[in-house]
Amino acid sequence: TPFNCGNIYASKFIGSVIQSEALMSRYIPSRREECLENARKAADLLISLASPEGTPLAHIPPTYYDSFLATGLKPEQVTIVGAADPDAQLMTMTFDPLYALRGYLALYDASGEKKYFDEAIEMMRTYDRLVDSEGFVPKKLYIRTGEGVNQDGALTGDLLILIQQFHDQYGITEFDP
């Protein structure tokens, strides 16, 4: 029987947890190490679920935590409850992983652990490859090919803010338009 799962947005929810825990580590000194450990565990989980290096969506964690990527099941064994498109488990939302990226940067800022900064850089490099000649990124992508599901593209303010953050805060200019 197929494995049913709800729409559990891993990148969005877990990325927000990483960011929150990293920020709390700064403002609650008595809980600093606990908060950083929570953030690390959450970040390491998303990193472990991300598409591997050498794939079209390298370093991009999945939209749906319980998708076949996380369960190890074959695509035909997975059904996402409420998904209008039967191939939804083979797709990812483009902008949800930006929550993870922001979480990695917050964790790096709080802990100084370069591993998380490096992961954020690699995610940005993948996004940089996805941008078309007009500066748009597909809203939804096929995981295996990195191709847009349709012609819907977006120029997201979140991505532009991250580009500016890399430039202004970290002196990284490789993503500048």
- The whole-model pTM stands at 0.83
Angle at 140 between CA 49 and CA 170, to 5 degrees: 65
Q: What is the DSSP letter of 1?
A: -
Distance from C-alpha of 176 to C-alpha of 18, rounded to nearest angstrom: 26
pLDDT band at 75 (very low <50, low <70, confident <90, very high): very low
pLDDT of 101: 97
Residue 64 and residue 9: Cα distance in Å, rounded? 5
Cβ neighbours of residue 36 closer than 8 Å, sequence gap 6 or more? 21, 22, 25, 107, 110, 111
Between β-strands 140-142 and 137-138, what pairing exists: parallel, antiparallel or unpaired? unpaired
What's the pLDDT tens digit per position in 17-40? Answer: 999 999 999 999 999 999 999 999
- 158-167 mean pLDDT: 93
